[in-house]
Amino acid sequence: MAPTSTMFLLLLVMGVIPVKSQDHWEDTRTGKIPACLPETCRKGQDICECFLTIEHRLTMMYEKEKSLVVSKGGRLYRFNSTENNPIANSDDLPFILTLDGNTSRVVIAINRLFPGPQITAYEDQTLIIHVRNLMHTDSTTVHWHGMQQLGTPYSDGVAMVSQCPLGHGQEFTYKFKAKPHGTSFYHAHIGDQRTMGLYGALIVYPKQELPSATDEEFVAVIQDWNHDDDASTLYQRMLFGVFNQNQNPKTRYVTTNSVDGGMYSRYKFHSGIVNGKGRYYLTPSMHNQAPLTEFEVDANKNYTFRVISAATLYPFRVYVEGHPTLTVVASDGFALKPITVESFVINPGERYDFILLTNQSPDDYLLVAETLEVESEIARRGEYHVAEAIIHYREKKPRNPNPSKPVRNRCTATNKCVIFNCPYLLPTSANESCLTYNDARTNDFNSAPEDVSKVDQEYFFNFAFPGEHGFTPGSVNGHQFVPPIAPLYSQPEDLTTVCDSNCADDKICSCTYTQTIENGKVYQFTLTNVGRGKGWSHPVHLHGHSFYVMKMGFGQYDSHGILTNSTPDISCSRGSKEYCNSPIWANETWNGGNVPNLVLNDTAQKDTIIVPTHGYVVIRFKADNPGAWFFHCHIDLHNTNGMGMVIVESPKLYPAKPKNFPICGDFRSNSQPLTSSGSTLKDDWKAFVSTVWAAIAFLVIRNIHV
Ligand SMILES: *[C@@H]1O[C@H](CO)[C@@H](O)[C@H](O)[C@H]1NC(C)=O
Ligand SMILES: *[C@@H]1O[C@H](CO)[C@@H](O)[C@H](O)[C@H]1NC(C)=O
Ligand SMILES: *[C@@H]1O[C@H](CO)[C@@H](O)[C@H](O)[C@H]1NC(C)=O
Ligand SMILES: *[C@@H]1O[C@H](CO)[C@@H](O)[C@H](O)[C@H]1NC(C)=O
Ligand SMILES: *[C@@H]1O[C@H](CO)[C@@H](O)[C@H](O)[C@H]1NC(C)=O
Ligand SMILES: *[C@@H]1O[C@H](CO)[C@@H](O)[C@H](O)[C@H]1NC(C)=O
Ligand SMILES: [Cu+2]
């Protein structure tokens, strides 16, 4: 027998199939296992399987021709083109990543796209998604934001909470049920990688058609974009400040506010992008004419727009130019009773579906997402912070690929513009009025608010930056999250960063903050943004569950709508330093779920909620999904800075991890061997030796026989 086939047989006997790495790459390209595409998963299929390949790529590059591209008039041209011949090859155009058309720079692409391909599935379908990391320098994971992962916590994709990150060249298979139906997305869950493009839409259709369904729908994934900094640079700048380095003299870039005085931490906004396209405004009225995403509509029809915020930091107010109203019908995978408004606010991690009736005169309009920063302040800086996409009425010819700056809808004292999901309350004298998420009611057949009408246990979590002496990290109840050295779910015994007595009411500690909860109980969490570290915007996301939004409480405002004081409902009396590491109800009759003015009927569900600055939000859910669930601020930079924790749900009932689930951890030559689920290296070695003996015996017997 030839040595290679002996080797192969040996490996086979040992249960190891040799991986031919070159072919593997081919698989994704030749379609043996198809690359994920919007049409990959079909109605009626129980299982749907596809590939996502993650690589670095350059923007403004026509790879096929190895040519830099430039933009003009909303079209792309070869860098050295002397004639008026824009690149028109519709097969190639989607693969020329433009972002805001500013410069050619490196981003993260999935299946060569930014954002990654949309994945469309049907509720309860099993998705098997193979992810391969081909980035040379970065490790990665993919989180399926909105998927409850019932029974599959190992597929949640959070680095060092549910799995080991994938190193260069490594592959990981995610397997989970598409649930709930609605608008979700997938994105990287390590460091600030999402910022660089590792995200894509994940749309789940209900098995039966919803009565509200419209003929056609569009997906708009929004992001705030900085065209200079990579993910690591952004984080360093958040820590130490952003400077206008090209100015003479150099100045510090001061952080901005929303109209109520809520603050946004240091992240310089250059451009807004929709589905990977945007344009850079060099002044408040002049942009660089980069191409935008286009949605083509017919006049007098209803269209569903699924808006997803993959943003790094800024909340956006979304409206449609020239269309005084739109109707919000769902959020985070749950149908809402229709809310007709002028605009709505979307925070990082949130999704909103709205219906637009195209009843205006045929023209090119813009879908606009403008940040919540004070407009006059942004204009004073010579900036305009907006993400745009074109809504083109087919009846209007020719289409204009380069529309000018959008015009806001007119709001007057008698015809106020209503904004849904405000993170604040506005003075009644303004020409705008606010609805908060507390005003939404569910319209979803998956919702059952009666399940949470009685509370078994309540907890408070303060999302803020308390501390002093230059140490004010992002934290939850004063705990700056330290990711474990090995995944909390799959290797809990390897945790070396447990929270201990360094954590207290008057201390800020750094550790792996967890809260254990028990199966079958109903939990009420009150999320606050109060105490000494209050003031910044925090959209909080819970993995593994959707929760009911029972109540929102706001700070106290002056007559101009500026925050003056925190809500009187929460007390920070525990501890003397006002860190508010242990918030409690100011009125103790509110304990145990007995909070006045809760929304108990048709309570709306979601998985990401803004915690009002100086205020709070009360959420409830039932512990019915054992697993280790990350719970964190969805602003990438805040999360990386430690504003997160893990809800350890019913650890005794954890579903078993799949066979051969990856193991990781520290290596120290004189430390104990790495352990995992009771097996040690010694056991593995014994197993290996006996397998080799079995293989040799097998070969010997076989050769004798021949
Ligand atoms: C532009 O550059 C390409 C090579 O990158 C070359 O083939 C082409 O002839 C050039 N066109 C002009 C107009 O110079
Ligand atoms: C790119 O952005 C820089 C500022 O960051 C600006 O000076 C330059 O004009 C921009 N160029 C284009 C083509 O957008
Ligand atoms: C659009 O939807 C609204 C609300 O459901 C409905 O009243 C209207 O008839 C629809 N219009 C068209 C053209 O479908
Ligand atoms: C509010 O509306 C009134 C007209 O009702 C108008 O005079 C005023 O300029 C508007 N204010 C703003 C800030 O738009
Ligand atoms: C505490 O709350 C209860 C119930 O809302 C209310 O009746 C009572 O007046 C409150 N007590 C104080 C001191 O505000
Ligand atoms: C809320 O629901 C309960 C039970 O379904 C019903 O008895 C009650 O009238 C409802 N309350 C309101 C305000 O609709
Ligand atoms: Cu935050």
DSSP string for 494-527: G---B--TT--TT--EEEB-EEEE-TT-EEEEEE
Contact call for residues 59 and 97 (beta carbons, < 8 A): yes
Does ligand 1 have an atom closer than 6 angstroms to the CB of 82? yes
If you take atom 11 of ligand 5, which residue's CA is the nearest one? Answer: 587
Instruction: Look at residue 7 and give its three-state secondary structure.
Output: helix
The domain defined by 217-238+250-398 carries CATH number 3.90.78.10: no
User: Cα–Cα distance between 290 and 288 in angstroms, integer?
Assistant: 6
Note the pLDDT tens digit of each residue in 579-609.
999 999 999 999 999 999 999 999 999 999 9
Report how far Cα 200 is from the mean position of its chain's Cα atoms: 10
Q: How far away, in angstroms, is 76 Cα from ligand 1 center?
A: 15
CATH T-level fold of 449-653: Immunoglobulin-like (2.60.40)
Per-residue pLDDT at 11: 38
- pLDDT value at residue 7: 43
CA distance 306 to 217: 7
In the prediction, which pLDDT does 567 show?
Answer: 98
What is the residue-averaged pLDDT of the chain? 91
- Expressed in angstroms and rounded, the spacing between residue 343 Cα and the centre of ligand 3 is 19
The Cα-based distances of 285 to 406, 428, 553 in angstroms read 10, 31, 38
pLDDT at 265: 87
Give the per-residue pLDDT at 35.
87
Give the CA angle between residues 100, 106, 112 to the nearest 5°: 85
Ligand 5 and 587: CB distance under 6 A: yes
Query: pTM to 2 decimals?
Result: 0.91
Cβ–ligand 1 contact at 22 (below 6 Å):
no
Query: Which residues are CB-neighbours of 40 under 8 A, at least 6 positions away?
Result: 34, 48, 50, 119, 120
Q: Please, what is the angle between helix 681-705 and helix 3-13, to 10°?
A: 130
Question: 303: CA distance to ligand 3 center in Å?
Answer: 10
- Give residue 551's identity as a one-letter amino acid code: K
Atom of ligand 1 nearest to the CA of 80: 1
* Residue to mutate (ligand 1; options 67, 69, 80; most atoms within 8 A of CB): 80
- Ligand with minimal distance to 538 CA: 7
Cα distances (angstroms) measured from residue 330 to each of 212, 565, 585: 10, 33, 31
C-alpha distances (whole Å) from 356 to each of 334, 388, 391, 464, 560 are: 18, 16, 11, 37, 32
pLDDT one-digit tens code per residue, 311-362: 999 999 999 999 999 999 999 999 999 999 999 999 999 999 999 999 999 9
**For the chain (length 706 residues), average pLDDT per consecutive 10?**
41 36 49 80 91 96 95 96 90 95 96 95 96 95 98 98 96 96 97 96 87 82 97 95 91 94 94 98 96 97 97 98 98 97 98 97 98 95 97 96 96 95 92 97 95 98 95 97 97 95 95 98 98 96 98 96 97 96 98 97 98 98 98 97 98 96 88 52 50 50 39
Of all protein residues, whose CA lies closest to atom 11 belonging to ligand 4?
431
The answer to whether the 24-79+99-205 and 449-653 domains have the same CATH topology is yes
Which ligand lies nearest to the CA atom of residue 429 in the structure? Answer: 4
Q: Edge to edge, what strands does the sheet with 142-145 contain?
A: 119-122, 199-205, 182-188, 142-145
Ligand 2 mean position to 391 CA, how many Å?
A: 26
Cα 529 to Cα 534: distance, rounded to the nearest angstrom: 5
Ligand 3 atom nearest 300 alpha carbon? 13
In short, whether 376's Cβ falls inside 6 Å of ligand 4 is: no
Ligand nearest to the CA of 535: 7
CATH 2.60.40.10 for domain 24-79+99-205? no
Ligand 2 center to residue 246 CA distance, Å? 12
Looking at residue 119, its pLDDT comes to: 96
Q: Is the CB of 102 under 6 A from ligand 2?
A: yes
Q: Cα separation of 48 and 120, whole Å?
A: 10
Per domain, the residue ranges of the chain are 24-79+99-205, 217-238+250-398, 449-653
| Residue with CA nearest ligand 5 atom 1 | 587
- Looking from the CA of residue 412, the nearest atom of ligand 4 is 2
- pLDDT tens figures, 255-284: 999 999 999 989 999 999 999 999 999 999
In this prediction, residue 210 carries a pLDDT of 65
The size of the chain, in residues, is 706
Which regions of 421-499 does DSSP assign to beta strands (E)? 432-434, 457-464, 475-476, 479-481
Q: Name the burial class of residue 652, with classes exposed (0-12), middle (13-18) and buried (19+) by CB atoms within 10 angstroms of its CB.
A: exposed
Joined tokens for residue 225: 């974009």
pLDDT score for 690: 53
CA of 478 to the centre of ligand 7 (A): 14
Closest ligand (CA of 300): 3
Neighbour-count burial for 459-496, b at 16+ CB within 10 Å, e otherwise: ebbbbbbbbeeeebbbbbbbbbbbbbebbbbbbbebee
The pair of structure tokens assigned to 559 is 């007559």
Which residue lies with its CA nearest to atom 5 of ligand 3? 212
Residue of 284, 295, 267, 286 whose CA lies nearest to 192: 267
Runs of H (alpha helix) within 619-672: 636-640
Residues 6+ apart with CB under 8 A from 213: 304
Strands lying side by side in the sheet with 294-297: 294-297, 386-393, 364-371, 316-320, 343-346, 417-420, 432-434
Protein residue with least CA distance to atom 1, ligand 1: 80
Specify the pLDDT at position 520. Answer: 97
**Closest C-alpha residue for ligand 2 atom 10:** 102
Kindly give the distance from the C-alpha atom of residue 310 to the centroid of ligand 2, in angstroms, as a whole number. Answer: 23
- CA–centroid distance, 415 to ligand 6, in Å, is 33
